Structure 1
């Protein structure tokens, strides 16, 4: 049976903490042996307590690169259809959380259970690989922040895709990457409004903070975001 035909791996409970013990060292090899990654803002990561790391999404590498750059272990929410074959085995063994982007309450509950035991979750709330400017965002980060005691740390990942590279391209070894951790923010329910309105507003707050953080990271590192594949990279006269 081919790996493509194998069933997807699923979770019946939150992944145990011990599974992350080898994923961060593996991420560091990716960051500092395979690639040259400069990490900024580690001092912004709380040393204890639950954290939702919310990062922009450019490439397949974003999750592993973030794991290797952080000084806290984390369980990353990964698209559910990646959990098959050899890669699916690696993701499952390292404690990552499969999530169906069409809507997956079980995945959010597993992530909340991780946060409730004072551990960390990584999420790419744009939902799909794009230009990474946080122009849009799903509500998963807001839901987790509002339904747990976790703070949200915005993360800008730059260099995993550049210029007009295709979204499926894996960068060549030794490319210079940047991971920038922003200041932690606390998200609270607004009094006097419905839960839906409170979550929508929280999502907007997080998106705007992440977008501003990405823009600041570009200014600091000098590494720009990739071009939008849906529009020509260069227009006439430019």
Structure 2
């Protein structure tokens, strides 16, 4: 099937442009250098991300810098789903030109879905945080977006575990102290068989359960291998709201 034909498969992604790449690619080396002047960032398991073709990086979410770290330090450039609230003022313009995908979490967001599919069908990498919000990183809540995108595109899902980006007791927007060690651990990908239109709620639900089990297994293995702990819950009253339904949370299409 030609590239154009793939984009015309439902849901169509030929009617949205590929997210910007002119800052995402060239800024990664200098960004890595700058970040490593403050923190000791270690990437494990880089070999697990396929060198070519569409792929989904699905990560736990504990700190405010998880998204930038994923986009900057992953072996390949990543277009990460980022909550719409971040796309304000200069920061929003920067995120747009750095290729990040704006997500309206208050409702099913068809444009975000199509932009993700545009990236995957063009052979790029999408980053997603299935928990939907910062928290303890234990994957207690798991949105259906990663499963839906994998079912549509057939892209493998690579689990990611983040450690050190928020200290125990730290607020949702807190930063780790200078010279802290930040570990980004990629695990073995899980293949999802693409399903033709229409995809059912049941298919999305079953695939979501499989992905959560895979990510949870990777998280447990990473904790054991590194001897690291997650930061625990956010302080009382410092919640990071997670509206439903999120990306494609309503299911079939």
**Alignment match, 2:50:** 46
Change (3 A) 1:156 1:27: farther
Q: Does 1:219 align with 2:224?
A: yes
- CA distance in 2 between partners of 1:98 and 1:23 (Å): 20
Checking the alignment, whether the CA contact within 8 Å between 1:53 and 1:122 is kept in structure 2 is yes
Residue in structure 1 matched with residue 99 of structure 2 by the alignment: 95
Residue of 34, 41, 50 corresponding to 1:37: 41
Aligned pair count? Answer: 220
Q: Write the distance in 2 (CA, Å) between the matches of 1:158 and 1:134.
A: 14
Partner residue, 2:129:
124
Larger deviation, residues 123-132 vs 170-179: 170-179
Cα gap change, 1:209 to 1:183, in 2 (>3 Å): same
For 1:107 and 1:154, locate their aligned partners in 2 and report how far apart those are by CA, in whole Å: 21
User: What residue in structure 2 maps to residue 235 of structure 1?
Assistant: none
Residue 199 of structure 1: aligned partner? 204
Write the distance in 1 (CA, Å) between the matches of 2:166 and 2:199. Answer: 39
Matches within 5 A, 1:1-238: 13-29=17-33, 31-102=35-106, 103-188=108-193, 195-229=200-234
Superposition TM-score, scaled by structure 1 size:
0.86
Instruction: Give the Å deviation of 1:59.
Output: 0.9
Measured against aligned partners, the alpha-carbon deviations of 1:5-63 in whole angstroms (never above 9, x if no partner) come to xxxxxxx6331344421342254235422210111101111111101100110111001
Cα offset for 1:230?
6.3
1:5 corresponds in structure 2 to none
Secondary structure at the residue paired with 1:52?
strand
Q: Structure 2-normalised TM-score?
A: 0.81
Contact persistence 1:136–1:207 (CA under 8 A) = no
Partners of 2:59 and 2:34 lie apart in 1 by 18
**RMSD value, Cα:** 2.1
CA contact (8 A) 1:42 1:70 kept: yes
Q: Give the conservation status (yes or no) of the 8 Å contact 2:160–2:215.
A: yes
Q: Give the Å deviation of 1:143.
A: 0.9
The Cα of 1:218 is off from its aligned counterpart by: 1.2
Residue of structure 2 in register with 1:6 after alignment: none
Decide whether the 8 Å contact of 1:50 with 1:151 is kept in 2.
yes
Q: Matched residues in 2 for 1:176 and 1:213: separation?
A: 20
Contact kept? 1:37, 1:176, Cα under 8 Å: yes
Change (3 A) 1:161 1:17: same
Partners of 2:21 and 2:97 within 8 A in 1? no
